[in-house]
A and B are shown apart, each in its own frame.
Chain A
């Protein structure tokens, strides 16, 4: 493409050229017109001044010619005046003489300057008018000249404008167009992502020498800066995107964990937008377009009207915080919804934004809790078990209804204060409670007291009061709570039972003690009779005698065992603080012959505390457990017995483990029953009372006993848990007697 065509292809250049042409076309005629008009004015004014000068200057000569009366000279003067440029008419009027005129008056409409000058001369003190000179100058030649000039100017300016436009076009192309084009190509490439090193070449002319080069340099700097900023921005966008994704993921996870979804309802378009969790809560596939109607269709039918009413009320300013049911896959779920509203500048409601939380578990839990509470309440009612709770920070006491009922008080009234409790108990009970409560409140010592209460109607009864401290996460005591069991009936039954037991024990003792005498007589006389008839008895009869004698002896043993059993808790030593290890050593002393005979290995370990027990009963317990371990050994296997002791909480735990015959698991429940034997008498002699006796001793001390075994032949473990502390209060008068 030739340079001219390249220049012409430059649009800015064309516009500049066109602009110059337009300016030329508009301004040049205007300015030329102004100049010509001004020139016309000046020349006309000059012509007029010239006319005045001519009129003045011509007077002396013309006056002289007129004075001389030289008509030829006058005409010569007139012709001379007429010969002046633009002079159309020179006319001289003289009295009594024809008018001398040179030239013609221009036609009407032609602008003229006209001057009339009287030619005067003083003669003998008189002013003589020699004639009147009229000079008429036509402006038409001047206008004609100006028109010619205008045409010449127009032609010249047209040529000039054309040349200037061409020069501008070409010059702009040479100076700016090419570089602008190159910059545009560079920027286009930059926009399309085509990386170019720099807009300004590092070769050739010095950089940044003129405005365009500076612009290009600034573009380069800017693009470099933009590239850096873009990189940073991309990094930040990537980071923010990652954070956003993480945040969205966390939000989704949080919504999923909290079962809390979000939604947005465009009130104008009725478009409903749900979060992923909301879709999940409502059991709708994610992404399905929704409307408010779709939402309503998923509400449990009985709740639908209520929800719609609440929503309509919310649209008019009411609080939208409701819980309702929805149906998801045939299952009923509970949803709690809350919403806020967005208004436009005109105050019109546009968008509702809210949350939907799946509270099914919570509702079910509340329902279950409510049910539990009802059940508890009913259980308390049935069991006559009341409960209470004291918040030490607020000194506020909460009673269960049953507690009110137990004490014959009105549940609608607040619980009585601590001082008022005094009226609810007998003085003796109040004193004991008043001793236990400070220990529980200050030291966290639990208590269990049987208190005699005085009901509102004045009747008396018994309650079993248990209380313990409430602690915070740091272990500090923040309150007390406890239960009160109406044991009035039980107390009465227990008293009756104890009385009956006493009678039974007395009866058993009497039976076992009194029945042994005749039994010994039967046994003795049978033995005597066998001796007397020793020669007369054949084998079968002797065997019959042996059976009878053996039966009598076994019955005697059973009576002895029964007698021992009945004596537990009744004839034993009173409890006292003793060293448990010492008790073990004393028990082993008695068992030493059997141990030696069985060549049993015995190891004792653990921590042996001081315990508050009946000394002889616990020694009997240890003898029975260790003795059983020696006795029920596997033939041919050296017994290995391990006795351990430890303190677990407030209990002393005693364990006796052996490698003996073991116990079938389904037989363990029979171990501690009277006269129950898991082995034949022939294999292991015994009355079947030992473990029953152990159980009774343990229970007499308020403890528990149990056994475990991996199976027959695999050894067994017997354990005993006894309260480690002494009873806080003296036994009830009826207790343990």
Chain B
């Protein structure tokens, strides 16, 4: 199961501030008003540009829009990944964003899955040297690969000449200019956002992604009645182009929705 790599609080605040500065519309009055009167709180452990503490990340906006379309005012709460699930399972929050259902439901019995994929999360390779190419995990066998601890799917599937596990993305990307790793693996949009934030030069992302994992919105079972409407609302958002527009407005390539 893919997991969203965690970010330090400082980085998160920094990213949020940047996003808010560039996306003026995201900090619109309807959002503030909605947050002021949240009917549901959805936990999120993803970072910019997908999610932030203000709930103005790309996926945040999609999810909030989906709730809005079902008549519910939702707010996004940045939480550690596991805490986000625990709170949602405990009913402290009302759900969690971007989770792999098979992993979550087996462990957290109080969560139900909104069946419509909210985001097909691409795990992409980032390289600094130009001759490095990889189109899938199988291409990593002779490479020195780095990734962030906690990504179990990577732990299970990555086979490489040398694997470097670091505690966070801030330590991950410097591996490349330092020559310690040939390829580092991270979510594509967030990775690009971090490379830019870190000011690293010469790092490029490999397309297509090495691994794509469908991520769903999870709700506490007391919101069972919202599962289908929300799934319909997400499909509608994808269908009406709002979904891709959100990515484009953030400067990122929208993933395929079909």
Please encode chain A, from 692 to 715, with 1 for each CB lying within 8 Å of some chain B CB and 0 for all others.
000000000000000000000000
Contact status B83-A68, CB under 8 Å: yes
Q: Please indicate the chain A residues that have their CB under 8 angstroms from the CB of B86 in the complex.
A: 69
Separation of A637 and B38 alpha carbons in the complex (Å): 207
Contact status B92-A128, CB under 8 Å: yes
Q: Please indicate the chain B residues that have their CB under 8 angstroms from the CB of A67 in the complex.
A: 80, 83
Q: Please indicate the chain A residues that have their CB under 8 angstroms from the CB of B97 in the complex.
A: none
Q: Please indicate the chain A residues that have their CB under 8 angstroms from the CB of B90 in the complex.
A: 95-96
Contact status B41-A69, CB under 8 Å: no
Contact status B89-A124, CB under 8 Å: no
Candidate in B6, B85, B86 with the most chain A CB atoms within 10 angstroms: B86
> B82 at interface (Cβ–Cβ under 8 A)?
yes
Contact status B85-A124, CB under 8 Å: no
Nearest CB in chain B to that of A64: its residue: B80
Separation of A422 and B89 alpha carbons in the complex (Å): 174
Q: Please indicate the chain A residues that have their CB under 8 angstroms from the CB of B92 in the complex.
A: 123, 126, 128
Q: How many residues of B contact A (CB 8 A)?
A: 14
Contact status A69-B89, CB under 8 Å: no
Nearest CB in chain A to that of B80: its residue: A68
Min C-beta distance of A355 to chain B, whole Å: 130
Task: State which of A68, A70, A71, A124 has its C-beta within 8 Å of the C-beta of B77.
Answer: A124
Min C-beta distance of B128 to chain A, whole Å: 30
> B81 at interface (Cβ–Cβ under 8 A)?
yes
Chain A 458-478 interface residues, beta-carbon cutoff 8 Å to B: none
Q: Please indicate the chain B residues that have their CB under 8 angstroms from the CB of A128 in the complex.
A: 87, 92
Interface of B (DSSP majority class): helix
Min C-beta distance of B24 to chain A, whole Å: 27
Q: Please indicate the chain A residues that have their CB under 8 angstroms from the CB of B80 in the complex.
A: 67-70
Task: State which of B81, B87, B89 has its C-beta within 8 Å of the C-beta of A123.
Answer: B87
Nearest CB in chain A to that of B81: its residue: A69
Please encode chain B, from 85 to 103, with 1 for each CB lying within 8 Å of some chain A CB and 0 for all others.
1110110100000000000
Min C-beta distance of A28 to chain B, whole Å: 57
Min C-beta distance of B153 to chain A, whole Å: 17
Min C-beta distance of A70 to chain B, whole Å: 6
Separation of A66 and B89 alpha carbons in the complex (Å): 14
Nearest CB in chain B to that of A67: its residue: B83
Separation of A96 and B220 alpha carbons in the complex (Å): 15
Separation of A280 and B247 alpha carbons in the complex (Å): 162
Nearest CB in chain B to that of A70: its residue: B82
Instruction: Given A95-B90, A96-B90, answer yes or no on A69-B85 (Cβ-Cβ < 8 Å).
Output: yes
Contact status A96-B89, CB under 8 Å: yes
Interface of A (DSSP majority class): mixed
Please encode chain B, from 134 to 161, with 1 for each CB lying within 8 Å of some chain A CB and 0 for all others.
0000000000000000000000000000
**Contact-residue bracket for chain A:** 10 to 19
Separation of A67 and B6 alpha carbons in the complex (Å): 13
Min C-beta distance of A66 to chain B, whole Å: 8
Nearest CB in chain B to that of A69: its residue: B82
Please encode chain A, from 78 to 114, with 1 for each CB lying within 8 Å of some chain B CB and 0 for all others.
0000000000000000011000000000000000000
Q: Please indicate the chain B residues that have their CB under 8 angstroms from the CB of A124 in the complex.
A: 41, 77
Contact status A69-B83, CB under 8 Å: yes
Q: Please indicate the chain B residues that have their CB under 8 angstroms from the CB of A70 in the complex.
A: 80, 82
Min C-beta distance of B83 to chain A, whole Å: 5
Min C-beta distance of A377 to chain B, whole Å: 160
Separation of A90 and B90 alpha carbons in the complex (Å): 24
Min C-beta distance of A72 to chain B, whole Å: 9
Separation of A71 and B83 alpha carbons in the complex (Å): 11
Q: Please indicate the chain B residues that have their CB under 8 angstroms from the CB of A66 in the complex.
A: 83
Q: Please indicate the chain B residues that have their CB under 8 angstroms from the CB of A96 in the complex.
A: 89-90
Separation of A721 and B241 alpha carbons in the complex (Å): 211
Min C-beta distance of B122 to chain A, whole Å: 25
Separation of A126 and B85 alpha carbons in the complex (Å): 17
Separation of A718 and B41 alpha carbons in the complex (Å): 193
Min C-beta distance of B77 to chain A, whole Å: 7
Chain B 227-242 interface residues, beta-carbon cutoff 8 Å to A: none
Q: Please indicate the chain A residues that have their CB under 8 angstroms from the CB of B77 in the complex.
A: 124
Separation of A71 and B92 alpha carbons in the complex (Å): 19
Please encode chain A, from 120 to 149, with 1 for each CB lying within 8 Å of some chain B CB and 0 for all others.
000110101000000000000000000000
Separation of A124 and B92 alpha carbons in the complex (Å): 9
Min C-beta distance of B144 to chain A, whole Å: 25
Please encode chain B, from 60 to 82, with 1 for each CB lying within 8 Å of some chain A CB and 0 for all others.
00000000000000000100111
Chain A 350-382 interface residues, beta-carbon cutoff 8 Å to B: none
Q: Please indicate the chain A residues that have their CB under 8 angstroms from the CB of B85 in the complex.
A: 69
Min C-beta distance of B12 to chain A, whole Å: 14
Min C-beta distance of B169 to chain A, whole Å: 16
Nearest CB in chain B to that of A128: its residue: B92
Separation of A71 and B86 alpha carbons in the complex (Å): 12
Nearest CB in chain B to that of A123: its residue: B92
Q: Please indicate the chain B residues that have their CB under 8 angstroms from the CB of A95 in the complex.
A: 90
Min C-beta distance of A126 to chain B, whole Å: 7
Separation of A66 and B87 alpha carbons in the complex (Å): 11
Separation of A123 and B6 alpha carbons in the complex (Å): 19
Min C-beta distance of B44 to chain A, whole Å: 14
Please encode chain A, from 536 to 555, with 1 for each CB lying within 8 Å of some chain B CB and 0 for all others.
00000000000000000000
Nearest CB in chain A to that of B86: its residue: A69
Min C-beta distance of A424 to chain B, whole Å: 169
Candidate in B41, B80, B81, B84 with the most chain A CB atoms within 10 angstroms: B80
Chain A 411-436 interface residues, beta-carbon cutoff 8 Å to B: none
Min C-beta distance of B76 to chain A, whole Å: 12
A-B pairs with beta carbons under 8 Å apart, 28 shown: A66-B83, A67-B80, A67-B83, A68-B6, A68-B80, A68-B81, A68-B82, A68-B83, A69-B80, A69-B81, A69-B82, A69-B83, A69-B84, A69-B85, A69-B86, A70-B80, A70-B82, A71-B82, A95-B90, A96-B89, A96-B90, A123-B87, A123-B92, A124-B41, A124-B77, A126-B92, A128-B87, A128-B92
Beyond A68-B6, A69-B80, A69-B84, 15 additional pairs, beta carbon < 8 A: A67-B80, A67-B83, A68-B80, A69-B85, A69-B86, A70-B80, A70-B82, A95-B90, A96-B89, A96-B90, A124-B41, A124-B77, A126-B92, A128-B87, A128-B92
Interface residues of A (CB under 8 A from B): 66-71, 95-96, 123-124, 126, 128
The 6 closest A-B pairs by CB, nearest first: A69-B82, A68-B80, A69-B83, A67-B83, A69-B86, A68-B83
Interface residues of B (CB under 8 A from A): 6, 41, 77, 80-87, 89-90, 92
